Amino acid sequence: MTRRSHRRRRKAGAIRQLPWQTVTNRWSPVEVLSTDEVEIIIDAAMTILETQGFRYLDNHSRVILEKAGVEAANEDGMTRLDRNMVIEATSTIPTNITLRARNADHDLSIGGNNICFTSVGGPAFVSDLDKGRRPGSHKDMCDYLRVVQSLNIIHQEGGGCFEPMDLPPESRHLDLYLAQLTLMDKNAQAYALGRTRTIDCLEMNCIALGLTRDELEDNTTVLAIINTNSPMQLDIPMSEALAELSQANQVSCITPFTLAGSMSPATLAGTLAQQTAEVLAVATLAQVIRPGAPLMYGAFASNVDMQSGAPALGTPEYAKMALASAQIARRLGMPFRSSNTTTSNCADAQAAYESQMSLWGAILGHAHLVNHAGGWLEGGLTASFEKLIIDAEMLQMMAETLKPIAINEDELAIDAIAEVPPGGHHFGTAHTLQRYETAFYTPILSTRQNFESWQEEGSIRSAERANTIWKQLLAGYEKPAIDPAIEEALNDYVNRRKQEIAN
Amino acid sequence: MTRRSHRRRRKAGAIRQLPWQTVTNRWSPVEVLSTDEVEIIIDAAMTILETQGFRYLDNHSRVILEKAGVEAANEDGMTRLDRNMVIEATSTIPTNITLRARNADHDLSIGGNNICFTSVGGPAFVSDLDKGRRPGSHKDMCDYLRVVQSLNIIHQEGGGCFEPMDLPPESRHLDLYLAQLTLMDKNAQAYALGRTRTIDCLEMNCIALGLTRDELEDNTTVLAIINTNSPMQLDIPMSEALAELSQANQVSCITPFTLAGSMSPATLAGTLAQQTAEVLAVATLAQVIRPGAPLMYGAFASNVDMQSGAPALGTPEYAKMALASAQIARRLGMPFRSSNTTTSNCADAQAAYESQMSLWGAILGHAHLVNHAGGWLEGGLTASFEKLIIDAEMLQMMAETLKPIAINEDELAIDAIAEVPPGGHHFGTAHTLQRYETAFYTPILSTRQNFESWQEEGSIRSAERANTIWKQLLAGYEKPAIDPAIEEALNDYVNRRKQEIAN
């Protein structure tokens, strides 16, 4: 990227934002478990797999495992896994993953100290302050992806910001992939519900990147979230997606959905043990399918509200579980995924502090992927345009916080300190003027207006300011360059597949 | 405290909250500077003190220092301090402080891994959603202190939540101390502007705790924030307060107010060097006055908004500076103070995420005192009733997050996991039912309502819910027990001093 195009991007839609960057956390990870405690949890997970087993609902998965020497499932459908077999199978999981994007500048490096921020995926609803909360539509989805593309701090799209309910369910994944690959040039997750939706994603990414299916195996491009049906089973659509992804050397981010007290025991230790057992069960299957297939250890461990049974997110338990899960994933040598979550129904203080709790848990634990990092609201039922902007501000702040403090003679500024007498100020010194533009973080959303001028301008809260900002970004959106032949080929693919599905 | 009174306190005002507790951070501190970089900054601070000096505006302070062998101030008023003298003088600063409260259950232990949360101090304005933002009054001040007293997670009152503008400025500190010592039984900071206001605080605390002034020296009770006038000077009122506190073996929390780009250089390294120089200059004076007098290293380092010159708080720079300052304080063997700040003008998402940034910086750095932990708004110009509740929720969440995850056989729940089949749920298991009441954090403010029921009830945002909660706390407030003779003596003291001041 030239310096000029770089600068232009920063000013897209007249919103000043940080440039595209790799976010790196050089701090030591915060550890909430001792080394021994990590081993105790992994041992408990192995014990669960050995003595209780895991239910692979897909017949084909069981056949594959049996061929690899695993004992046939019991009458209750539970497949017991020997711990030595699990340890051996999972020893081939790569610790680092490079994920390609249509624009090579947006390739992602997952692992080490890097953190990748992904926009929200999966809600049924969309909301903004103008039209309120409503079922997602294709038009809204495209607009949402345009804003995601415009926000430099978002590294990856989350596999569909919300369902376009105005499109037929059998083929709407094709419209999603087309939008991801033409309106954006960032990496985008797959909508991996079943075999054909996964294959369509692989095929369309091949077209977009100019790769054959064989070449795709050397160019990891597609990542999908593979949720278990906690407790302790993997359903058929997820099994199919896992198989397709693994065979093609693409990434399965294995994520149990464990709300302690409901899908797992009402303790954090028990939930960690169960979650680890589930990840290992699915990881073992994937490594049997293709040793070395890239996988991630995903955690979505929180608790239910014990009064109402409702999910509780962005809680103290959520933050602690992110930290503890990250430790277990590190010990297993698997890249780790966490999320940015809240149960709030609007982009208010609760949404912000629950998201912060989630983000700090992810970042301090050295999560490699923060799913739902931008836009999530209402426990994941809604993707909010305003929350996306609030989250982008918070993500930018995190990225800035992680940047080292420069310590050198010039920065120590002893001469500048000598220059300003007691009671004076540094506004006009040469030292300050040299740094005028770049010294400190410039926010997207936060105001530093004093109360009087803020009040005069209408006492505009952050959610309302965010509303203005996403519209500015949308108005300033520029479709990223694409070879017309590739775009045509993508359209042809979608049209052909839609006809096939209709017949 | 008996178990019964404990339970009653939790339900005060029908608000379920965590019990009074010592908050402890057993995690390793997050370090953003290397050991070498910490030394470089301290060396730069020493160089500043040696070559440029510090301006003690109070004559008496200079005389004391000169008697201790410090060279007389230059014509420009700058007193140069030899680094060996600074190192020797500051070697007597205690690393731990016990702060007594009127109720011994509320005594505070400052140092080690403990974190003390203090309510906002110093604003001119009060605000709530009913009456908006307005100058503080005595009635509002008393109500604010009642809510602070009612919130178990707040350990200490911050030296006046806002100025009671309806009272004469010469004597309003007396009304503050009377309110602190009769409406509350927690420790409360002094309003240490000048000698007599400080002495009044010492005297009234002696009355409240039944101590002579001599006994007070063995019973550290009073803590005051001693702000430097950055850059590089200490004014007369603060010098007088420092002297009175140090002589009486009470705590001076030395806090430079350094906004990089204004009161300090536009670099974080330069601001750290200057801040450290200022703390050491004031600490040296205090230790010369009384070796072993308790002190704290306070940081209020952030940056100005380079576009407007306005303070920027709760920023990435603020969080980083809290972490770096904490490292320097640890190296100097001084307990550390940070804050919870925001520039937002209302209790919205910005207020929450800026406060979270501040709080995480403080907590990860192992701050021993988090000033303004509850209630701060508008860059410190306003104390908000609603923000106090939002902050209390965030502080409770922090306290819970810091609690270790219990790892033992019962918590690992392997049998409970065996009991629930794949696709089942843990709601009804004996393991869950045993933990029904206490398994997870119960919020004060956060809602887990689904969107529909939240909307039916009026789409109430967190700030509005907080409004209901502080009123409930106020309605349920019970004045803590006090010996009538002590209360009478406090009133007598205030009346006598008011007459003296009037004459």
Domain positions in chain A: 3-29+92-401, 411-440
pLDDT value of position A452: 96
Through-space distance between the first and last CA atoms of chain A, rounded to whole angstroms: 45
A14 in reach of chain B (CB within 8 A) = no
User: How large is the ipTM?
Assistant: 0.96
Report residue B136: phi and psi, to 5°. -65, 150
Distance (Å, whole) CA B364 – CA A28: 12
Could you please state the CATH topology (level 3) that the domain comprising A3-29+92-401 is classified under.
TIM Barrel (3.20.20)
pLDDT reading at A9 higher than 80 = no
Question: What is the signed CA dihedral for B202, B204, B205, B211, rounded to 10 degrees?
Answer: 90
Smallest Cα distance from A38 to chain B, Å: 9
Q: At what angle do helices B462-476 and B138-150 cross, to 10 degrees?
A: 90
Q: B 67-106 residues with CB below 8 A of A?
A: 76-78
What end-to-end distance do the CA atoms of chain B give, in Å?
Answer: 45
Q: Chain B closest CA to A480's CA: distance in Å?
A: 31
- Mean pLDDT rounded to a whole number for chain B: 95
Contact A161, A123 (CB under 8 A): yes
State the pLDDT at residue B7: 39
pLDDT digits (tens, 9 = 90+) for A465-493: 999 999 999 999 999 999 999 999 999 99
Cβ–Cβ gap B48/A417 under 8 Å: yes
> B405 and A324 in contact by Cβ < 8 A?
yes
* Model confidence band, residue B6 (pLDDT cutoffs 50, 70, 90): very low
Cα–Cα distance for residue pair B162/B139, rounded to 1 Å:
11
Rounded to whole angstroms, the Cα distance separating B220 from B242 reads 14
User: In which residue are the tokens 């049996």 written?
Assistant: A66
Helix H or strand E encompassing A228? none
Percentage of chain A surpassing pLDDT 90? Answer: 94
B425/A263 CB distance under 8 A = yes
Across A338-353, average pLDDT: 98
CA distance A5 to A384: 29
* Confidence tier at A25 by pLDDT (50, 70, 90): very high
For residue A250, give the nearest of A285, A282, A205 by alpha carbon.
A205
Q: Using the beta-carbon criterion (under 8 Å), do B27 and A32 form an inter-chain contact?
A: yes
- Please answer yes or no on whether A451 and B345 come within 8 Å at the CB atom: yes
**Residue A467: left (phi > 0), alpha (psi -120 to 50), or beta?**
alpha
Q: How far is A274 from chain B (nearest CA, A)?
A: 7
Of A35, A264, A38, A324, give the one whose Cα is nearest residue B401.
Answer: A324
pLDDT at B157 over 70: yes
Query: In this model, does residue B46 exceed pLDDT 80?
Result: yes
Distance from CA of B353 to the nearest CA of A (A): 6
Give B361's Cβ-side CA count (13 Å radius).
Answer: 36
Nearest-CB residue to A422 (from B232, B316, B449): B232
- For B364, the token pair is 């990860």
pLDDT at B2 over 80: no
A56 contacts A78 by C-beta, under 8 angstroms: no
Among residues B179, B126, B26, the alpha carbon closest in space to that of B377 is found at B126
Taking residues A149-155, report their average pLDDT. 98
pLDDT score of B12: 46
Residue A5, pLDDT above cutoff 50: no
Looking at residue A423, what is its pLDDT?
86
List CB contacts of B458: < 8 A, sequence separation 6 or more: none
Scanning every residue of chain B, which has its alpha carbon at the shortest distance from the alpha carbon of A345?
B451
Tell me: pLDDT of A13 over 80.
no
Q: Do A303 and B78 touch (CB under 8 A)?
A: no
pLDDT at B495: 98
CB-count burial class (<10 Å; 0-12, 13-18, 19+) for B211: middle
pLDDT over 70 at B497, yes or no: yes
Question: How does residue A437 score in pLDDT terms, banded at 50, 70 and 90?
Answer: confident
Rounded Cα distance between A311 and A318, Å, is: 11
Top residue of B38, B41, B267, B427 to mutate, by most chain A CBs within 10 Å, is B267
Question: Helices in B114-194 by DSSP H: which ranges?
Answer: 138-150, 172-183
Mean pLDDT on A355-383: 98
Determine the distance in angstroms separating the CA of A314 from the nearest CA of chain B, rounded to an integer.
Answer: 10
In the predicted model, is pLDDT for residue A342 greater than 60?
yes
- Which segments within B102-234 are labelled E, that is strand? 108-110, 114-119, 125-128, 132-135, 156-157, 187-188, 223-227, 233-234
- The average pLDDT across B147-176 equals 97
Asked if A349 and B386 count as a contact pair (C-beta separation under 8 A), the reply is no
Name residue, tokens 């420790």: B187
Q: Say if pTM beats, i.e. exceeds, 0.80.
A: yes
Give helix B349-364 / helix A385-401 axis angle, nearest 10°: 30
Residue B3 has pLDDT above 50, yes or no: no
Res B66 pLDDT > 80:
yes
Amino acid identity of residue A217, one-letter, is: E
The mean per-residue pLDDT over the stretch A158-183 comes to: 97
Q: What is the pLDDT of residue A67?
A: 97
What are the tens digits of pLDDT across the range A274-284? 999 999 999 99
Strands A55-56 and A376-377, bridge-based pairing = unpaired
Q: What is the per-residue pLDDT across B213-265, written as a single tens digit (0 to 9) for each?
A: 999 999 999 999 999 999 999 999 999 999 999 999 999 999 999 999 999 99
Helix (H, G, I), strand (E, B) or coil at A373: strand
Closest partner residue to B33 (CB to CB) among A319, A379, A405 is A405
Q: How far apart are CA B326 and CA B340, in angstroms?
A: 15
- Take residue B413 and report the two structure tokens written for it: 């729940």
Report residue B9's pLDDT band, with 50, 70 and 90 as the boundaries: very low
Q: How far apart are CA A147 and CA B472, in angstroms?
A: 42
Digit-coded pLDDT (tens) for B163-179: 999 999 999 999 999 99
| A445 at B interface, C-beta within 8 A | yes
Residues comprising chain A, all counted = 503
